[in-house]
Amino acid sequence: MRRSDLLTLTLLALLAVLPPVFFCTGHPFYLDLATRLVILAIAATSLNLVLGYGGMVSFGHAAYIGIGAYAVGIPVYHDLWGGAAWLASTSGWVHLALAMGLSALFALGTGAISLRTRGVHFIMITMAFAQMVYYLFVSLGTYGGDDGLVIEHRSRLPGISLDNPLQLYGLCLAVLVATIVIVRTIMRSRFGQVIKGARGNEERMATLGYNTYAYRLTAFVIAGAIAGLSGFLMGNFTAFISPEMMAWTRSGELMFMVILGGTATTPGPLLGTLIFIVTEELLSHYTRHWQLPFGLMLIGVVLFMRGGLTGAFRRRE
Amino acid sequence: MDFALVFVQMLNGLQLGLLLFLVASGLTLVFGILDFVNLAHGSLYMLGAFVCASLTFLTGNFLIAIALALPVMAVIGWGIERVVVRQLYRRDHLDQVLGSFGLLLVFDVAVHLIWGPAGIAIPLPAWLDTHIGLAEDVVIPVYRLLIIGTGLAVAALLFWLVHHTRFGMLIRAGASDRTMAGALGIDITRLFTLVFALGAALAGLAGMLVAPITEASIGMGNSVIITAFVVIVVGGIGSMKGAFIGAMIIGLIDTLGRSFIDDGFRLIMGTAAAETAGPAVSAMLIYLLMAVILALRPQGLFPPSGR
């Protein structure tokens, strides 16, 4: 077994055992922390698909989390308060379809435009489109605008109650495992090889007859849909959604998680998210200003630790 | 829609455009010449506002405070370049983005620690804090005219600096071929530091000018930076002319959109629908405009030549 897969399995096993044990022994807080961690790890894993393997520095990933969460909040809102009967629903399937479908659609539209550009253009354009979604929800006073929207009840799914923290966590973890497997499988397929090839040398792939634009756009849409799924889970976890969840600094944090763990590796996003969430939690115990050591850490990682933690891990091998 | 309102909104749009230009010009200079993506550029805008606020209270005069704050901002820019930014020139854009994102977090907390969590309003001197009436129902704050005047003057100065001075010639040489310029004996390292300091002073100036209207607050830079990105993406990244025209377009469209789209929608749909759709569309307007322009011209309206 490859070392990186071993690391992934170890982390997943820890996540499968420890938080439920804490929960059952009367420390529900740790389950909450782990749920947030797992949901963000799903988003980070999907970001790794475009950012790590594809070399597309997408700086708007938080927007999909927001779209996914509002896809739960808005139908529930209308179910409760009336209006827009065609949208009102408490069914988890409807929410899920909306979350992933709208995210994929948003990725398709913005990707079609932004993928025609490279480098800095791409970074700025993805950022700007994400900010557009942010301002859109700020302007929608019906759904709370700036103040956000309380999701009065969670999505209804057959055979599972998302109101039960343990069951919700189980679902999130299952989705994370599925996401990791899917991304890993994609990257080992011919499709994945083309994506990686286009990162290394786009001209060569184009000369070989591959339509790199179409391949990239497909990867971008897949990543968007998975991130939308993580937003669906996030909405059900927090039962509250506000535009702040998709501020561009959130996208930056997601990127940092991927880089911290190591881009274009299977365990990287999960490891990075783990370190990020745990560090944030520890620092916030000591100081209100946890962002200060965090910012310094970020600068330090960029300046001195290239390739992230898995990179450091690999060099020692 | 009456003429007076349109005129006043045009002036507001012009003012927003010029402020955006001050932020975007530094961003585009730094990117065009240093090939560096600076997410912390908005932090310099914020720092400018806070430094100017403190100096205003210290000296008792807003204009003296600006004159003193500008070199302070240049020095801060110089320091950042020496300590962090310089290490990242040879890295890929991803590292630059993350490094400057780290800087941004540090600055937000630093401002919080130094100036406290609340925003600070900057008082204007009495002669600036008045209005002049141009016509019966057209009243314009004098301070807005000062912003517009300053913005135009700085824009003219920048064009002169870049196109008609030796420093500008070096900048353009460094932008088109860094290695060759270095081989010809230009001290590239010093040039880059100067350009970064100039960009910091420009962003700081925008923050200082806006602070009496909105007050200096933490996070004020984080929203302006994205709009500045839209400006330079629309105008063509690295082009000073593009930044100017882009800023004017974005400033005017955003201001006019917010003022008149609601009325426009009310003509074609019901009032209730217009009240939802109006703000939503005007919030997204500049991004939609960016999408259209990029769909037609992926490199922006005025991509810099020779790169």
Identify the CATH number of the domain in which residue B142 sits: 1.10.3470
User: Contact, B11 vs B139, CB < 8 A?
Assistant: no
Domains of chain A as residue ranges with CATH: 3-247 (1.10.3470)
A149 SS3 class: strand
Residue A313 pLDDT > 70: no
Backbone angles phi, psi at B61, to 5 degrees: -140, 125
A256's enclosing H/E stretch is helix A248-261
Q: Is the pLDDT of residue A85 over 80?
A: no
Nearest CB partner across the interface for A291, out of B88, B109, B290: B109
- Chain segment B146-194, per-residue pLDDT in tens: 999 999 999 999 999 988 999 888 888 887 787 888 888 888 888 889 9
| B305 occurs within a structural domain | no
More confident residue, B307 or B241: B241
Closest CA to B300 of A2, A128, A281, A104: A128
As a whole number of angstroms, the distance between CA A243 and CA A259 comes to: 25
Whether residue B185 is contained in a domain is answered as yes
Count Cβ atoms within 10 A of the Cβ of residue B185 and give its class: 0-12 exposed, 13-18 middle, 19 or more buried.
exposed
Does residue B14 fall inside a structural domain? yes
Chain centroid to Cα B106, Å, comes to 21
Out of B102, B226, B283, whose CB is closest to A127? Answer: B226
Which residue range(s) make up the domain with B119?
3-296
Other Cβ atoms less than 10 A from the Cβ of B178: the count is 18
For testing contact with chain A, the best of B233, B237, B292, B293 (most A CBs within 10 A) = B233
What type of residue sits at position B176?
Answer: S
Task: Report the gap between the CA of A164 and the closest CA in chain B (Å).
Answer: 36
- pLDDT tens profile A43-84: 999 999 999 999 899 999 999 999 999 999 999 999 888 877
Please give, rounded to a whole number of angstroms, the shortest distance from the CA of B30 to a CA of chain A: 13
Q: Determine the number of helices (DSSP H) and then strands (DSSP E) in chain A.
A: 13, 2
Report residue A26's pLDDT band, with 50, 70 and 90 as the boundaries.
confident
Classify residue A10 by burial, with Cβ atoms within 10 Å: 0-12, 13-18, 19+: exposed
The pLDDT tens digits of the residues spanning B275-296 come to: 777 888 888 899 999 888 988 8
CA B233 to CA B292: how far, in whole Å? Answer: 12
Q: C-alpha angle B198/B216/B139, rounded to 5°? A: 95
Q: CB of B244 within 8 A of CB of B235?
A: yes
Taking phi first (over 0 means left), then psi (-120 to 50 degrees means alpha), and beta for anything else, what does residue B139 get? Answer: beta
Q: Band of the pLDDT at A290, cuts 50, 70, 90?
A: confident
**Structural domain count of chain B:** 1
Task: Tell if the CB–CB gap between B280 and A121 is shorter than 8 Å.
Answer: no
The residue behind tokens 């109101």 is A163
Give chain B positions within 8 Å (CB) of A124: 37, 229-230, 232-233, 237
β-strand pairing of A240-241 with B138-141: unpaired
SS3 A189: coil
User: Is residue B55 over pLDDT 90?
Assistant: yes
**B130: number of Cβ within 10 Å:** 10
Q: How confident is the model at residue A37 (pLDDT cuts 50, 70, 90)?
A: very high
- Residue A181 is encoded by which pair of tokens? 């497997």
The closest CB to that of A124, out of B88, B229, B284, belongs to B229
Q: What secondary structure does DSSP assign to A215-238, as a single string?
A: HHHHHHHHHHHHHHHHHHHHHHHH
Report d(CA A317, CA A308) in Å as an integer.
15
**Cross-chain CB nearest to A255 (options B98, B105, B222):** B98
**Which residue out of B92, B226, B253, B286 would a mutagenesis test of the A interface target, given it has the greatest number of A Cβ atoms within 10 Å?**
B226
Chain A residues with beta carbon closer than 8 angstroms to that of B101: 249, 252, 255-256, 295, 298
Q: Which of A49, A40, A48, A45 is nearest to A68 (CA)?
A: A40
Report the gap between the CA of B105 and the closest CA in chain A (Å): 5
- Tell me how close the Cα of B277 comes to any Cα of chain A, in angstroms: 9
Any domain includes B302: no
pLDDT of amino acid B307: 44
Tell me which chain B residues have a C-beta less than 8 angstroms from the C-beta of A255: 94, 97-98, 101
Nearest-angstrom CA–CA distance, A217 and A311: 28
CA distance B125 to chain A (A): 34
Per-residue HEC secondary structure of chain B comes to: CCHHHHHHHHHHHHHHHHHHHHHHHHHHHHHHHHCCCCCCHHHHHHHHHHHHHHHHHHHCCHHHHHHHHHHHHHHHHHHHHHHCHHHHCCCCHHHHHHHHHHHHHHHHHHHHHHHCCCCECCCCCCCCCCEEEEECCEEEEHHHHHHHHHHHHHHHHHHHHHHHCHHHHHHHHHHHCHHHHHHCCCCHHHHHHHHHHHHHHHHHHHHHHHHHHHCECCCHHHHHHHHHHHHHHHHCCCCHHHHHHHHHHHHHHHHHHHHHHHHHHHHHCCHHHHHHHHHHHHHHHHHHHHHHHHHHCCCCCCCCCCC
pLDDT averaged over chain B? Answer: 88
Confidence of residue A312 (pLDDT cuts 50, 70, 90): low
What is the value of pTM for the model shown?
0.89
C-alpha distances out from residue A256 to A187, B26, B94, B227, Å? 21, 26, 10, 23
Q: Which amino acid is at B79?
A: G
**Best residue of A125, A251, A257, A259 to probe chain B, by most B CBs closer than 10 Å:** A125
**Helical packing angle, A28-48 and A3-24, nearest 10°:** 150
**At which residue do the structure tokens 């859109």 appear?**
A136
What is d(CA B268, CA A209) in angstroms, rounded to the nearest whole number? Answer: 49
Q: Give dist(CA A125, CA A113) in Å, integer.
A: 9
